[in-house]
Structure 1
Amino acid sequence: MRVKNITIIFSFLILLGLMGGYFLGSFENDAGKSKLNEEKRSDVSGFHYSSFSQKDFFDSAFEKTIRPQISKNQHIRGIIIPHHLLASNLIANALYSISSEKPITVVIISPNHFFTGQGQIISSLYDWETPYGILESDKNIIKRLQANRLLDIDELPFEKEHGISNLTAFIKKVLPNAKIIPLIIKDTLSFRESDFFLDNINKILPENTLFIASLDFSHYLPSQIADFHDTKSLAVLASFDYEGINFLDIDSKPSLRIFLKYLASKGANAFNLLDHSNSAYILKDENISETTSYITGFFSLGNQSKNEQTTLLAFGDLMLDRYIRKITDKNGKDYPFQNIKRFLIGNDLTLANLEGSFTDFQPKPLDPDNTTFTFNPNLIPVLKKIGFNIFNLANNHSLDFGKDGLIKSQKYLEDNNIDYFGDPSNKDRISVIKNIRGIKIGFVGYNEFNNSDFHKIIEEIKKIKQEASFVVVYTHWGTEYQTNFSETQQEKAHQFIDAGADVILGSHPHVIQPVEVYKNRIIFYSLGNFLFDQTFSQKVRQGLGVGIVFDKIKLDYYLFPTETKGFQVNLLGKEKGDIILNELADQSLAPEDIKKQIIKGKITINF
């Protein structure tokens, strides 16, 4: 987590007077002003220090707790809490659920925020001085873990590691006789190292050890995107989805993987959510552009709790030739996406319409009038790394370099484990079904600019509807640069929904077109350009990202306006984004309550 962001958040607190002078000593980059931090730097006596020495700050946090009713028979083995002190009430509320006078060993696992110290997994032998007294480290066990080469001991990183120091006073308050094993984990920890640690730690830790994960979730994004990303995070926690961790908006993926795998080995599979919030909600200012989100909950012995939600982030046209090729050759393959990388992670599926083919053929000479596109295959690993894992190929550019070009493109995608669906001729591999945590999402592609049998697409939708929980139809249709949909588009869209489609996503017009609600299903007639080198009008530089949450009882749609500037995709700020959403609501065919939701950037369709 960036120190800059912590400073911004705490500055809000000071300005709003929410916590008065409590936070004046909490900024790492104000350490020179804090007597406590001076002690931490000069200390050689075998102690680390909790972030604050003011006992009344922590008392105040506990006084505001809801104090959840936890059955003693739940056998809690793990708890997940944030380390931002902005969320002090959430931390206190969660830890109160495990309060006990009994002696217990507590493992606290945290990100190594500053990537310091020797080793991938680092611990400390020092005790911790808190306003409630000394919180002892479990020195004997830590030394055994070190002797078995499961961790390294290095005291220096703990002088500034707020993932640990922000929590020690809370822990001492609720577990006064606990001994702790603090662990900070580097992001470079490999799966092999992680598995070796997990395979051996159970041989050393006491049976009733409590694991505390000190983790913050979505970072540096507006509140609605944070909520969308957290939907997946909550599903991953409930279902122990280790694969889903790979693209999760969280500050330490290795820490969460160790935490969940340890709990699974103990049979503590039942996740119980206590709180979910973010810094914008706590500060009561949803206009904050960079939030941090917080999830608290405990894990007890028992079966996994059900969370049957899956997320999809969908965009319009993605074109990587012509001037986009020129700029990526000059500035790097990820240049167009540098401003939205955080936005692109945190989703189960990330989708766009691929306006061309990946081939090793020579591209056409640079010319704005050239409309025959081929993309550099070396861009595929970059797209995968930033989150894209599925593409629509049913469009009028997939055959720009003939059937050979399409086959090459499909092979390149397959070699990189990226799924695709849709065929420019509407014949082969029209559809694909993705299984995410047991929820099956079917995708069907349709290219209007091929005179094949339209009835075949209808039959494919009906077929996929029998096999999948939800059906997404991605269409390539309409007239370029027209800001409204045609009667033909509407007729086909209605037929798709009549056949079983749950949502329709459109591309090709290169501008955003209105939304329609038909039979309680939503049609996005055109999402506009996601990334294209067209610059002749503002509308061709704008697009609409749609974040869809699939749920058995409802579908949520988050609306994210984007804009390309200098051939880089950017999330629009609230002022410009609101203009697009207001225009979209005004032009859409939808009930008034849905139009109001469009303006707010989130639509909910209940079944």
Structure 2
Amino acid sequence: MKKYILVYLVLLILSITSETFSRDKLNIASGVVPHHLLAQEIIDDFFKYIFSREKPETIILLSPDHWHSAALHQENSFITVALEPGKEEFNHLKVDSNLLRKLAEKNKIVLNNPAVVSEFGITNLLPFMEKYFPETKILPLLIPAKISKEQVKQLVNSIDEVAPVRTILIASVDFSHYLPWQAANFHDLKSIRVLLNFEEENFKNIEVDCWQALYAARLFAKLRQKEAPFIIAHKNSADFLKLDLEETTSYFSVIFEQKKVEEIFSNQKVKTILLTGDMMLNRGVEDLIKQNSVYYPFQRISQLLRGVDIVFGNLEGPVVKNPPEFPDNSLKFAFNPEVMKGISWAKFNLFSLANNHTLNWGKEGLEETKDWLRKYGINFVGDPLSGSWRELDAYFPSDNSDNIIFLAFNQIFPFLAKEEEMIETVKAVKSLNSEKLLIISLHWGEEYQLTNSLAQQKLAHQIIEAGADLIIGHHPHVVQNIEKYQGKLIFYSLGNFIFDQCFSLETQQGLAVGVEVHPDKLIFRLFPLQINRGQPVLMKQSQESEFLIKLAERSGSDKKLVDAIKSGIIKMERLN
């Protein structure tokens, strides 16, 4: 009997020791939670999950500096705003003033109590913390929009060095803003993937209200070696309001912990591409740029262009220093290098040069255009002077894991690619890269015609048969029909993106296509655009619905495709 009692006592001591050790170690390192109270059920579930597993000594809250309080100080890009020294309590919660003092020794921290009190990214979360962790100390920090990744890294490293072992770092962040839910969900794919995979180089181009706070939470999880994600929720404001809204906000919540959990994020490998139409920055558009700024053409569409892996367009002309003054009715273009600032700001990172205007300033203009694009870190494809099309002029993203290839060909006088050489090129590229998604951009077709020509269709089918996975067209200046052939999509023309053609309704409409590249499927999101005075903008819902119905009607008799076009989302299996 004594023997069994002794064994029981040993096991009891071990279990208590194990529990104490677990509590001391803290399995949860960090998390991400929204701060809009519309998403309060997500916020509650987030803190409830932590409460069911841990009792942290300190919680550090990182919030965007929504009211730009750091801008009051000279070095606003170096500043994190916190509570005033000596403050022991904040909204009935104890403040970890000792940790604040230690962090202030290693980081440039401005102490500003009114800024914290007015920051809803902090105050909206405090009632939930008081509910679940009334004894836990807090330390609220506001993160300015201009703080760099290096400064965030310094802050997180110092937190890791001086914070108690039982510390959780929480990023109070809302995801995609000011877009309809279809576009918001498209953006969220990259944002969530970058966060979960910790793609350090990509945090700066995700569409959230504070990428720095997300980076901090994910880095802290890595430093504490607790990187297994447990996803609390991913929803949109439209889900809560049960309304189809023009502008929404996305909410994503995740906890990073030590042990593996059942839920696995299935989209960790998904890549996103946004395909746009013809971009012309001369003539009437140039006049508008001079009256406003180099950012003017992109200002009303910039939100859609951000947070995407590849943003692609057809650059309809060369970029050259001191471009000539062509007449207003000229069909020759040349863009001032100042426009590159706007293009870069708009996050374009890939252009087709395979069109009939690229050589409007000759071979020298083409080479100068390439130099300007390289200077701004923008890739290009489709050199019309590359000699034989057998010399593969392809774009392979630098990240080999992208598994995406672009080819571009011009079929408009005077620099036509020979059809047989195009087809041979497609065959050659596909044979060497059978697992990669091969996207073909074609400059072709008849101007202002709303449906493709027989010549376009014949060539498109041959290119699909040669191995292309997707065809996108430019040049007609209007949006043409969509066709499905052998399980692949052909967008005959995306129409204009930025242009000065105001003489018809159709030339002032365009189509942007968001492509989700999954390992086993492709999802296409259709974003109809209205072009007003050289500025593309997402169509309002009523106009969008009418546009998609007309596009579906001229896209053939395939009922499944027609219905998908009307819905704005086309789903396809990947066929290799």
Is 1:398 matched up with 2:358? yes
Q: Per-residue deviation at 1:590?
A: 5.8
The equivalent residue for 1:262 is 220
Contact conserved, 1:344 with 1:386, CA < 8 A, in 2? yes
Partner of 1:83: 35
The partner residue of 1:516 within 479, 483, 492 is: 483
Provide the identity percentage: 35
Deviations 1:498-517 (A, max 9, x none): 22222111000000100001
Contact 1:83 1:215 in 2 (8 A): yes
The Cα shift of 1:588 comes to 0.8
User: For the Cα contact (< 8 Å) 2:298–2:342, is it kept in 1?
Assistant: no
Q: 1:99 to 1:292 in 2, by over 3 A?
A: same
1:339 aligns with 2:300: yes
Give the Cα separation in 1 of the matches to 2:566 and 2:124.
39
Report how far residue 198 of structure 1 moved.
2.9
How big is the shift at 1:290? Answer: 1.5
**Contact between 1:268 and 1:302, CA under 8 Å: does it hold in 2?**
yes
* Aligned residue among 335, 341, 359 for 1:375: 335
Opposite residue 195 of structure 2, the aligned amino acid is L
2-structure distance, mates of 1:297, 1:220: 22
- Residue 184 of structure 1 is matched in structure 2 by 142
Pairing partner for 1:424 from 384, 392, 398: 384
Answer yes or no: is the 8 Å Cα contact 1:241–1:437 preserved in 2.
Answer: no
Deviation at 1:272, TM superposition (A): 2.8
Partner of 1:364: 325
| More moved, 158-167 vs 99-108 | 99-108
Amino acid of the residue matched to residue 474 of structure 1? S
Matched residues in 2 for 1:411 and 1:446: separation? 21
Q: Supply the distance in 1 between the matched residues of 2:442 and 2:410 (Cα, whole angstroms).
A: 6
Tell me, in whole angstroms, the C-alpha distance in 2 between the residues paired with 1:362 and 1:305. 50
Relative to the length of structure 2, the TM-score reads 0.88
Question: TM-score if structure 1 supplies the norm length?
Answer: 0.84
Local SS of the residue matching 1:97: helix
Structure 1 residue runs of 5 or longer lacking an equivalent are: 1-70
1:439 equivalent to 2:402? Answer yes
Q: Does residue 206 of the first structure (1) align with residue 164 of the second (2)? A: yes
Deviation of 1:275 after TM superposition, in Å, equals 1.0
Q: CA deviation at 1:567?
A: 1.8
1:107 offset after TM fit, Å?
A: 1.0
What's the CA shift for 1:380?
A: 1.0
How big is each residue's C-alpha offset from its partner over 1:484-535, in whole Å with a ceiling of 9 and x where there is no partner? 1011111111122222222111000000100001111111000000111111
SS of structure 1 residue aligned to 2:527? strand
| Structure 2 match to 1:584 | 551
Change (3 A) 1:213 1:415: same
Matching residue of 1:489: 456
| 3-state SS of 2:338 partner | helix
**Any conservation in 2 of the 1:237–1:271 contact (CA below 8 Å)?**
no
- Aligned counterpart, 1:388: 348
Measure how far apart 1:167 and its partner are.
0.4
For 1:249, the aligned partner's letter is E
Distance in 2 (alpha carbons) for counterparts of 1:276 and 1:435: 30
Matches within 5 A, 1:469-480: 469-480=436-447
Cα gap change, 1:456 to 1:272, in 2 (>3 Å): farther
Q: Indicate if the aligned counterparts of 1:444 and 1:460 stay in contact, CA closer than 8 A.
A: no
- Shift in Å at residue 437 of structure 1? 7.9
Q: 1:206 to 1:469 in 2, by over 3 A?
A: farther
Determine which of 595, 598, 601 is the counterpart of 2:562.
595
* Distance (whole Å) between structure 1 residues aligned to residue 88 and residue 551 of structure 2: 58
Shift of 1:190: 2.3
Matched, 1:533 2:533: no
C-alpha contact (below 8 Å) 1:430/1:446 kept by paired residues: no
- The aligned runs of 1:444-455 (5 Å cut-off) are 444-449=407-412, 450-455=415-420
1:98 and 2:54 correspond = no
Shift of 1:387: 1.1
Corresponding residue of 2:66: 113
CA contact (8 A) 2:60 2:138 kept: yes
Give me the whole-angstrom Cα distance separating, in 1, the residues matched to 2:294 and 2:226.
43
> Over aligned residue pairs, what C-alpha RMSD do you find?
2.2
Could you tell me which residue of structure 2 aligns to residue 147 of structure 1?
A: 105
Equivalent residues of 1:426, 1:446 under 8 A apart: no
CA–CA distance in structure 2, aligned partners of residues 459 and 444 of structure 1? 12
Cα deviation, residue 89, structure 1: 0.4
Is the CA contact (8 Å cut-off) linking 2:26 and 2:166 kept in structure 1? no
Task: Please name the residue that 2:14 is paired with.
Answer: none
Equivalent position of 1:36 in the other structure: none
Matched pairs, number: 532
Instruction: Name the CA shift for 1:590/1:121 in 2 (closer, same or farther; >3 Å).
Output: farther
CA distance in 2, matches of 1:590, 1:385: 41
Residue from 240, 244, 248 that aligns with 1:291: 248
Mapped contact 2:410–2:417 kept (Cα < 8 A): no
User: 2:313 and 2:155 mapped to 1: Cα distance?
Assistant: 39
Distance 1:438 1:175 in 2: 42
Query: How far is 1:429 from its partner?
Result: 5.8
Question: 2-side partners of 1:331 and 1:184: how far apart?
Answer: 33
**Partner of residue 555 from structure 1, selected from 493, 515, 522:** 522
Determine whether 1:501 maps to 2:468. yes
